[in-house]
Amino acid sequence: MPEAWETFYLMVGSSAGALIGLLFVVITLTGEIDPTKITLAQSTFMSPTVFHFVTVLIISSAAVVTILPVPAMALAIAVPAVIGTLKSLAAFLRLSSGRLAATHWTDYVYYGVLPTIGHLWLVLAAWAVWQGVGWAAYSVAAGAMALLLLGIRDAWDLATWLVHSKKG
């Protein structure tokens, strides 16, 4: 990535790292909730949200490496983006199958549709980086920021749901 993006990726990456840590705190809120209720919910809601932040962290880490070859940068974007696409599609399918009840219709959008679009966007951005397309840097930044903001929204949603779902 161009050196002009270094500050952006330092801010975005450190934010993603901090938010991963905060999600570990949120997980402690699940201690009083029925374990059978939590298991499927974690793989549908929590794990993909953590992975959004992990994707941003990986991309940001790769972007600030000063001598990273273009193919390695494209790979650092593409691999988590492909995995994230699969995780997001799996979450959407779990919600759609009825095995896990969505608490609101927006769950389909924020935990399935938008993350899938965000990760697919990054797959396209990885291709653009590989090809040396002029808009590649902007596309990667937009995809990383979209996943960061989506992760923040989903983490907030999870925290409020967990607080309201506690026994007692």
pLDDT at 14 (0 to 100): 95
pLDDT at 30 (0 to 100): 66
CA–CA distances in Å: residue 45 to residues 28, 57, 100, 134, 147: 15, 19, 11, 35, 14
Q: Which two tokens stand for residue 151?
A: 């992760």
The set of residues, in sequence order, having a beta carbon less than 8 Å from that of 22 and lying 6+ positions away, is 155
CA–CA distances in Å: residue 12 to residues 8, 87, 126, 168: 6, 22, 18, 38
Distance of CA 123 to the CA centre of its chain: 14
Output the furthest CA–CA distance in the chain (Å, rounded): 57
Q: What is the rounded CA–CA span in Å between residue 121 and residue 103? A: 27
pLDDT at 3 (0 to 100): 75
Q: Which residues of the chain have pLDDT under 70?
A: 1-2, 29-40, 99-102, 164-168
Four-CA torsion 45, 58, 12, 27, nearest 10 degrees: 30
Q: Where are the domains of the chain?
A: 3-165
pLDDT at 40 (0 to 100): 66
Q: Which two tokens stand for residue 67?
A: 């001598």
pLDDT at 108 (0 to 100): 86
